[in-house]
Amino acid sequence: MSTSSINSLLSSLGSNSTESLSQLLGQSSSTSSASTNSAATEAIQDAVNAILNSATNTSGTGIDVTSTVDAILEIDAAPEETLDDEVSADNAQVTSLQSLQSDITAFQTSLQSLTDFTGDFGGLSVSSSNNDAVNATATNGTEAGTHTVSVSHLATTSADYSTDFSSASAELPTGQFALTVGSNSAVVIPVDSADGTNTLTGLASYINENNLGVTASVITDNSGTRLALESQTSGEAGQIKLSNDSTSADYSGYFTSASAAIPQGSFQIQVGSHPAVTIPVSSANETYTLSGLVSYINQQNLGVTASVETNASGSRLLLVPQSSGAAGVVTISNDTTNGGNGMGFASVYNPSSPPAGNGMGFMQAVAGQDAALTVDGIPIDSGSNTVTGVIPGVTLTLSGLTTSGSGSDQTDNPVTLQISPNLTPIATDINNFVSAWNTLITAVNTGIQTNTSTGAAGTLQGDTSVDMVQEQLLAGLGTSMSGNNGVVNLQSIGIDMQDDGTLTVDSTTLNDALQNNFSAVQNLFQGTTSVGSTIQTSLTGLTNTATGALNVDMNGINNEVTDLNSQISDFQTQLQATQTQLTTEYSTINTTLEQLPQTLAQINSQLDALNPSKSS
């Protein structure tokens, strides 16, 4: 049966389609341009064969609608693959440009280390001929030169300490004392229970909390426990002065222990202007030990507090007045123990002139004195061993004397300080500059050249913005300046360019230039018309976010990608509509083919009825 016969048959069977068989099979003008696609052609041929087979038998076999539609769509989708390839290529180009831009920024940063006027070119090192006596540091910009320093006295920090007490919590003699630091006004320090300062611990806390310019601490060793005061300011400005100590206490001599028997007898205690009271030392009164005496005296309410103080020297009786000033002065007299003065109280020998104070017993440990030195022959007095302002930009640290002996026998071995440029970080900066350039130019070469192994073109090949960047940077590196004591270009300091554009550094030439022609090397990077300023100007333009060549290029490519993605989206929408249309059409054909054998059988039956002779 021919195709035209099938079309007539479909029409006579009531098909609503007015299209020809070739149109139903997708062979319209919209798909004929891709008819060379073998997979699609095969699927379409299968559909044709299914129709022809159905016309010659009664199997009722239809067609594979999905495979046929997919094959046709594969042909129609070919332009989308081209668009996808363009997007991938553009994205790869942008990625390469971004990486290249990062390399340019890194190179710019390395150059700034050399062009920065406050950078390493201004850094200085200071060498000392005697670091045990004097060392120094210099800030950037300090004038290089040589200086001599002599030190005859180091600054010291004032320190005082009290007499020993039995413990940090032992009760102290009541009263007060005055504390003066340097030229500051004297501050009265109370020693009493009302202010919580009747122990060493409480006294130290009180002094520290009031920020008096000293640091108080409690020190305990084999001798006992005492209060230590250290000035927070060195030199004469921090000198501690302790005066007007009205605290008073009296101590006995040392005995073996608090429970050991002591010589019997008696002694009298007088507190302030109160009458003297006799204190028995006897077994009958249970006062023949220090512990017994403490209990007895405290029960008498005499205006003193008795306690036993024990340290490395032994144990002794401590009498602390409960009142300050004259009312609290303790006088011991008429000691009959052990034939006289057996208790060993300090005031027994002069009862008419009892101790008037100094119960804290402060003593000077270190006097606060200023450092004495000469710098380049000029005498200097400093309250600290860290001396600034004498040599502009230089900080001196004094740690020892340069003099020995005294008077006419004194000798001096002055320290020589040599201030010079610190060359090590500068050499490092120059090598970092070369390394950053090599990374950058290697990236450029990789992007614009063809891979000799694979034959693949670089992702930036043909990109005019990259060509321009390469041209500008190479021109900057090749800049020369006139004069400058012979240091006219990078080659003058040992930096040479190779055939591939990378740089190498001759360390010997570089170090020689830095050591013997430092100012010219600095001017090569920091001068007005220098190599450094020329390259920096180019880099400033290239890294501009709005007008930089690579940024403009990336913006253009990104816009192109956006447009391509929009085209792909529109194309996919169109393909989806085509898929819907083709699925409907092929489903109609499939339904017709599946019903065709039954329809043909009905026709044949009708024809046989019209021709009885044939059926018989």
Q: Which residue has the higher pLDDT, 452 or 258?
A: 258
- Following DSSP, what letter does each residue of 333-345 receive, concatenated? E---GGGTT-S--
Question: Going by C-beta distance under 8 Å and a sequence separation of 6 or more, which residues neighbour residue 408?
Answer: none
Rounded to an integer, the average pLDDT of 584-602 is: 81
Distance CA 318, CA 326 (A): 19
**What is the length of the chain?**
616
Query: How high is the pLDDT of residue 265?
Result: 95
Are the C-beta atoms of 51 and 589 separated by less than 8 Å?
Answer: yes
Distance CA 548, CA 258 (A): 93
Query: How high is the pLDDT of residue 27?
Result: 42
Distance CA 380, CA 386 (A): 12
Rounded to an integer, the average pLDDT of 586-613 is: 78
Q: Which residue has the higher pLDDT, 607 or 444?
A: 444
Q: pLDDT tens, 22-64?
A: 444 444 334 434 333 555 556 555 655 655 554 455 455 677 8
Give me the helices (H) in 370-463, please. 423-448
Are the C-beta atoms of 485 and 520 separated by less than 8 Å?
Answer: yes
- E-strand stretches of 155-287: 159-161, 175-181, 187-191, 214-221, 224-231, 240-243, 250-251, 265-271, 277-281
Rounded to an integer, the average pLDDT of 287-308 is: 93
pLDDT confidence bin for 324, thresholds 50/70/90? low
Sequence spans of domains, the chain: 3-76+580-608, 92-120+423-543, 125-154+372-421, 159-247, 250-356
Count of alpha carbons within 13 angstroms of residue 256, beta-carbon side? 7
Question: Is the pLDDT reported for residue 533 higher than 70?
Answer: yes
Query: How high is the pLDDT of residue 136?
Result: 96
Query: How high is the pLDDT of residue 313?
Result: 78
Query: How high is the pLDDT of residue 491?
Result: 94
Q: Model's pTM, two decimal places?
A: 0.58
Rounded to an integer, the average pLDDT of 391-412 is: 90
Question: Going by C-beta distance under 8 Å and a sequence separation of 6 or more, which residues neighbour residue 512?
Answer: none
Question: Is the pLDDT reported for residue 21 higher than 80?
Answer: no
Q: pLDDT tens, 544-561?
A: 777 777 777 777 777 777
Q: Which residue has the higher pLDDT, 293 or 567?
A: 293
Distance CA 345, CA 338 (A): 13
- Mean pLDDT score across all residues of the chain: 83
Query: How high is the pLDDT of residue 59?
Result: 53
Q: Which residue has the higher pLDDT, 367 or 546?
A: 367
Query: How high is the pLDDT of residue 504?
Result: 96
For residue 159, give both structure tokens. Answer: 């320190």
Rounded to an integer, the average pLDDT of 502-529 is: 93
Distance CA 91, CA 554 (A): 10
Are the C-beta atoms of 543 and 108 separated by less than 8 Å?
Answer: yes
Pick from 1-5, 167-171, 211-215, 457-461 the range whose average pLDDT is largest. Answer: 211-215
Cα Rg of the chain, angstroms: 54
Rounded to an integer, the average pLDDT of 271-289 is: 93
Question: Is the pLDDT reported for residue 349 higher than 50?
Answer: no
Question: Is the pLDDT reported for residue 201 higher than 50?
Answer: yes
Q: Which residue has the higher pLDDT, 358 or 345?
A: 345
pLDDT confidence bin for 439, thresholds 50/70/90? very high
- In the three-class reduction of DSSP (H, G, I as helix; E, B as strand; rest coil), residue 220 is classed as strand
* C-alpha of 542 from chain center: 31
> Which residues is 438 bridged to in the sheet?
none
Query: How high is the pLDDT of residue 16?
Result: 40
